[in-house]
């Protein structure tokens, strides 16, 4: 069954028979984390808060350059894109382990992890790209411009998904 | 220049080559999530649920042309989404229907940590939220600034660009 949406997209009816449940461990093959299941919150002043998951009280805070727009984690480190910087943060100590600068003319707009690499999307006058980053060295090892501006990334265990586009 | 058109694109993790892309065009994404076997794309007034096998989609309309989806999480049964009018909605992902809508609390961003539904409120408090009624169970003050984004240590998938505008 096909029907037109109010949003202008062509929407195809979806069978839900193959729906599966994926727990918060999320994707098979990812090692379990030894880090307590902290809650992390950022605010408009660029402060990152580490919260106790049972009381929600603040344990530690860390000032970043600006508001974090995206998070991902490898189970040990938290990766946060904030302003023109990608931070690698020790989840337990809430301390910056490493950071890398990104093109100041492009906004970071997507961040995900596939068990081996960090993927970061960028868009703006400095260029539109998705970069693959080695989290050990915090260096870009591959870059591509698949279809235009990137607006978000995620990973399903097999593929990377990006919202890509541009002006109508 | 404002972004007004986007596609959901499935990419190779090794080459970033395009494997598949959605047939529809959508508004500028506010967030992308992989939750419960589906890829979710929030684009303004619509929350799309994509089947990764073929990128076909069903959607949920916010109910108003001025109300936007902002943040989404999943507890294994229901989706919970915060909207730009600071309400929290509980969504049945099997048919993308709204089960219930919060009243009386202004929600900012939301996360499920494997046990509890946790929300940052617009006043800077962080709260445990009843997963059935959407009522606040308890809350503590955390910041005097506006909450923007939230995650937990246990998440293994990327949550992208999902923050309070």
B17 phi/psi in degrees, rounded to 5: -65, 150
| pTM score, whole prediction | 0.86
CB-based contact, B149 to chain A, within 8 Å: yes
* pLDDT > 90? residue B39: yes
pLDDT above 60: residue A99:
yes
Nearest CA in chain B to A107: B161
Torsion sign (Cα): B93, B81, B56, A27:
negative
Q: Looking at the predicted structure, is the pLDDT value of residue A91 above 50?
A: yes
- To which residue do tokens 């089960």 refer? B99
Closest CA to B58 of B48, B69, B45: B48
B90 neighbors B79 (Cβ within 8 angstroms): yes
Q: Give yes or no for residue A17 having a pLDDT over 60.
A: no
B76/A21 touch (CB, cutoff 8 Å), yes or no: yes
ipTM: 0.91
B114 pLDDT band, cuts 50/70/90, is confident
In this complex, the residue of A55, A117, A163 whose CB is nearest that of residue B29 is A163
User: Residues with Cβ < 8 Å from B74, sequence gap 6 or more?
Assistant: B33, B35, B36, B80, B93, B112
Nearest to A24 among B44, B114, B160 (CB): B114
Largest CA distance in chain B: 48
Chain A, 96 to 125: residues with Cβ < 8 Å from chain B are 109-114, 117, 119, 121, 123
* Chain A touched by B165 (CB under 8 Å): no
For A106-130, the DSSP string reads EEEEEEEE-SS-EEEEEEETT--EE
CA of A51 to nearest chain B CA: how many angstroms apart? 9
Of B18, B114, B150, the CB nearest to A147: B18
Q: Which of B40, B60, B37, B42 is nearest to B50 (CA)?
A: B40
Residues 4-23 of A with CB under 8 A from B: 5-16, 18-23
Question: A with B: how many residue pairs have Cβ under 8 Å apart?
Answer: 313
β-bridge pairing B31-35 and A47-51: unpaired
Q: Cβ separation of B148 and A152 shorter than 8 Å? A: no
pLDDT at A89 over 70: yes
Q: Tokens at residue B148, please?
A: 């923007």
- Interface check for B161 against chain A (CB to CB < 8 A): the answer is yes
Rounded to whole angstroms, the Cα distance separating A5 from B26 reads: 10
Phi-psi category of residue A97: left, alpha or beta, with phi > 0 → left and psi -120 to 50 → alpha: alpha
pLDDT of residue A101: 85
DSSP string for B78-131 = -EEEEETTS-EEEEETTTTEEEEE--S--EEEEEE-SS-EEEEETTSEEEEE-T
Task: State the smallest CA–CA distance between residue B9 and chain A in angstroms.
Answer: 5
SS3 B35: strand
More confident residue, B30 or B71: B71
Q: Tell me what the pLDDT averaged over chain B comes to.
A: 88
pLDDT at A148: 67
| A162, A167, A168, best to mutate vs chain B, most B CBs in 10 Å | A162
Task: Determine the pLDDT at residue A12.
Answer: 27
């Amino acid at each position: 069954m096909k029907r037109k949406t109010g949003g202008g997209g062509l929407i195809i009816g979806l069978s839900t028979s193959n729906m599966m449940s994926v727990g918060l461990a999320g994707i098979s093959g990812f090692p379990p984390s030894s880090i307590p299941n902290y809650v992390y919150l950022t605010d408009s002043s660029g402060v990152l808060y580490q919260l106790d998951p049972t009381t929600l009280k603040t344990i530690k805070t860390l000032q970043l350059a600006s508001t974090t727009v995206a998070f991902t984690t490898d189970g040990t480190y938290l990766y946060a894109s904030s302003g023109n910087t990608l931070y690698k943060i020790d989840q337990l100590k809430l301390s910056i382990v490493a950071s890398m600068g990104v093109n100041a003319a492009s906004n970071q707009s997507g961040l995900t992890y596939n068990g081996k690499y960090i993927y970061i999307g960028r868009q703006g006058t400095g260029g539109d790209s998705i970069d693959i980053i080695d989290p050990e060295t915090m260096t870009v090892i591959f870059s591509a411009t698949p279809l235009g501006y990137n607006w978000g990334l995620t990973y399903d265990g097999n593929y990377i998904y990006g919202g890509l586009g541009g002006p109508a | 220049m404002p972004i007004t058109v986007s596609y959901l694109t499935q990419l190779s993790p090794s080459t970033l080559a395009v494997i598949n892309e959605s047939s529809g065009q959508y508004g500028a994404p506010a967030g992308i999530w992989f939750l419960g076997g589906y890829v979710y794309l929030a684009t303004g007034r619509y929350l799309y649920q994509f089947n990764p096998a073929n990128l076909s989609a069903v959607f949920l309309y916010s109910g108003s042309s001025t109300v936007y989806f902002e943040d989404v999480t999943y507890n294994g049964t229901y989706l919970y989404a915060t909207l730009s009018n600071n309400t929290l909605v509980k969504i049945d992902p099997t048919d993308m229907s709204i089960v219930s809508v919060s009243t009386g609390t202004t929600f900012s961003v939301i996360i499920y940590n494997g046990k509890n539904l946790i929300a940052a409120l617009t006043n800077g408090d962080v709260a445990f939220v009843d997963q059935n009624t959407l009522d606040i169970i308890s809350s503590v003050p955390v910041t005097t600034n506006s909450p923007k984004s939230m995650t937990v240590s246990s998440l293994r998938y990327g949550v992208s660009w999902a923050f309070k505008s």
